[in-house]
Chain A
Amino acid sequence: MIFGIPVQALMGQLLVGLINGSFYALLSLGLAIIFGLLRVINFAHGAQYMLGAFAALLLLNWGGINYWLALILAPLIVGLMAAVVEKTMLSRLYKLDHLYGLLFTFGLALAIEGTFRYFFGASGKPYAPPAQLTGAVNLGFMFLPIYRGWVVIASLAVCIAVWLLIEKTKLGAYLRAATENPVLVQAFGVNVPLLLTLTYALGAGLAGFAGVLAAPVYQVSPLMGSNLIIIVFAVVVVGGMGSILGAIVTGYLLGVVEGLTKVFYPEASNIVIFVIMAIVLILRPAGLFGKDA
């Protein structure tokens, strides 16, 4: 017992928090990368997450392609679709007010989610975890479902890999520099329009990856993204718009805070993230990791 709470319950909620946090981190990371370079608030992010989950489901049902391949293929498919959207539509809006990018991606999300609802209905469809990751291990103080442990590890690994890509590679240096001054970077001979396309594809691909990870945990449904995306936007605001590290750390942190709230004061668990967002906006408007603070 800790503070009158059974250890099992506490650890259980901590794990739920970490898992939710894994999705928050992956999704807010993609949003942060896209916002940093494109200055677009990507409202289609939830739909791209849903597309990732559906891609995994359809690859399995139509092509018999297993989870492990889907984990690679689905993000590529979502990223490719995003690249086409950026090249043919979104890129035409950069010269206009940022509001147009937001409106466009919002409309895109509605169109994608509506289409999937029309063809697949609103109810959730199960997606079985791979055989290697079924079952649970006894950690002594609690049973850990193996798939849930995998979600935390996989998302952490991908977040770290993306962070390294941005902070330690030449491509990442282009991305950071172009986030500050795209015109000068282009004047140096870097194909910035291509960089924008790749960045949007990377952000969307991360959402697609999160979608595949989520498929066995939550059910696959056309609206699974729109339920989550509002929380993820709150995470991004708390972390600081465009801050890569902020998005990752805040994602896990708020997931855990949400989980702990479920233990200590369950009534507040649905709103605790938004309360934190309000407090952060009052005290540090640029976010916990924002550079303008």
Chain B
Amino acid sequence: MSALLSVENLQAWYGESHVLHGVNLTVAEGETICILGRNGMGKTTTLRSIMGILRKRTGRIEFAGRDMMALPLHQTARAGLGFVPEERGIFASLSVEENLMLPPRVAPGGMSVEEIYALFPNLQERRNSQGTKLSGGEQQMLAMARILRTGARCLLLDEPTEGLAPVIIQAIGEVLQKLKGRGMTVVLVEQNFRFAAKVADRFYLMDHGRMTAEFPVADLPQQMDLLHRELGV
């Protein structure tokens, strides 16, 4: 399997504070990986560093054969990486539809607006509402939907289930399954590993700015002791 995204010895800093201490990870085309770990271990920072939002970083990030370290932030998306932030980043001064249409198309093969509305009927009903008037679950759907339009090949998804009701979490899981069916590559950061177990092919466990374990979903039962100990669940 050739890697679509590979990260080698990624180090990153917030100001003087050294938060990533050499992250290594690879994601194959069409694969869904999940980064597990407690709060403050560097999961979000890993995504923000790969995306190029956090600029104070060293190491190597390669995506689709391209060196991503040298690219300015607005070219990362153009290379095919799509980012769904933890806080969702829905714009209050834009309507739902404007939010959906905001990210420029970066490649052919993205979903059409009709397909997106078929997948997320709520968004169509409320397309003229102010973006931030949506419920938390709908905002999460919108944050994902707007990236699916762009033709991004790889989705960086930060804690999509945080604070959401079980029925919404289930819907998000179904959406991720559909995306897998379409060949989308996903890097998922999640604390809820019961949710992640349903969608991820492979897991990384993160601790203090490093990956400390890596295993396929099939090994999850053997790893439960480790996960209970590390995640405190």
Contact = CB atoms under 8 A, between A and B. Distances in A.
Interface string B111-155: 000000000000000000000000000000000000000100000
Given A173-B101, A174-B102, A184-B85, A189 B78 contact: yes
B103 A189 contact: yes
Contacts of B106: 189
A91 interface: no
B164 to A, nearest CB: 20
B58 to A, nearest CB: 20
A188 B91 contact: no
Please classify how large the interface on chain B is, using the bins under 10, 10 to 19, 20 to 34, 35 or more.
Answer: 20 to 34
A112 interface: no
B73 A181 contact: no
Contacts of B160: none
B213 interface: no
Contacts of A190: 74, 103-104
Nearest to A189: B77
Interface in A181-236: 181, 183-193
Nearest to B156: A187
Contact of A173 (B51, B89, B94): B94
A188 B102 contact: yes
Contacts of A184: 83, 85, 89
B77 A188 contact: yes
B interface SS class: loop
A184 B102 CA distance: 11
A187 B101 contact: no
Contacts of B75: 189
B93 A187 contact: no
B150 to A, nearest CB: 7
B52 interface: yes
B94 A177 contact: yes
B91 A181 contact: yes
A184 B147 CA distance: 12
Nearest to A192: B74
B74 A173 contact: no
Contacts of B73: 183, 186-187, 192
Contacts of B83: 184, 187-188
A240 to B, nearest CB: 14
Contacts of A189: 74-78, 103-104, 106, 150
Nearest to A191: B74
A170 interface: yes
B196 to A, nearest CB: 24
Interface string B82-95: 01010001011110
B101 A188 contact: no
Interface residues of A, number: 19
A261 interface: no
A190 B94 CA distance: 16
A176 interface: yes
B52 A187 contact: yes
A179 interface: yes
A178 to B, nearest CB: 9
Nearest to A185: B102
Interface string A30-59: 000000000000000000000000000000
Interface in B30-86: 51-53, 73-78, 83, 85
A8 B75 CA distance: 62
Contact of A176 (B51, B74, B85, B94): B94
> Which one of A173, A174, A179 has the highest number of Cβ atoms from chain B below 10 Å of its Cβ?
A173
B158 to A, nearest CB: 12
Nearest to A175: B93
A163 to B, nearest CB: 13
A177 B74 contact: no
A186 B93 CA distance: 17
A188 B102 CA distance: 8
A56 B73 CA distance: 40
B89 to A, nearest CB: 5
B152 to A, nearest CB: 9
Nearest to A36: B93
15 contacts: A173-B98, A176-B91, A177-B93, A177-B94, A180-B92, A180-B93, A183-B53, A183-B73, A185-B102, A187-B52, A187-B53, A187-B73, A188-B103, A189-B75, A189-B104
* Nearest 8 interchain pairs by C-beta: A189-B77, A188-B103, A176-B93, A184-B89, A177-B91, A186-B73, A186-B74, A191-B74
